[in-house]
């Protein structure tokens, strides 16, 4: 069974555009490794510039496999060069009943 996750990527100073470009490659790269479903991700931007992504891993096992996968680890290194992953709850929008975000895809 799939596993829906919400990830918040806070761009490092001056790296917002690089993060947005990298986001375009995220799902295709995970799909190439057989780790996510065919469901399209939702990518949006919070008021503070944090990028929020909602996507579906193939399974809990796929999440575990990602941590051992050299291609995924390389991709994560690229992400960590341009952003920090932060808890979704740190976003101002997370305290709202109906949070709104700017769609990016």
43 beta partners: 53
Query: For residue range 43-85, what is the model confidence (pLDDT) as tens digits?
Result: 999 999 999 999 999 999 999 999 999 999 999 999 999 999 9
**9 — pLDDT class (breaks 50, 70, 90):** very high
Query: Packing angle between helix 70-82 and helix 16-32, nearest 10 degrees?
Result: 170
Domain boundaries, the chain: 3-103
Average pLDDT over residues 2-20: 97
Please state the length of the chain.
105
- CATH 3.40.640.10 for the 3-103 domain, yes or no: no
pTM, rounded to two decimals: 0.92
Helices assigned H by DSSP within 1-96: 16-32, 60-66, 70-82
Q: Is the pLDDT of residue 1 over 90?
A: no
């Amino acid at each position: 069974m799939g596993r829906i996750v919400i990830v918040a990527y806070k761009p490092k100073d001056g790296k917002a555009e690089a993060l947005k470009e990298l986001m375009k490659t995220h799902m295709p790269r995970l799909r190439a490794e057989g780790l996510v479903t065919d469901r399209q991700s939702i990518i949006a931007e919070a008021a503070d510039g944090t990028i929020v992504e909602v996507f579906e891993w193939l399974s809990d096992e796929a999440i575990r496999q990602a941590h051992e996968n050299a291609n995924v680890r390389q991709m994560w290194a690229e992400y960590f060069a341009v952003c920090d992953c932060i808890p979704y709850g740190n976003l101002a929008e997370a305290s709202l009943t109906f949070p709104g975000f700017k769609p990016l895809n």
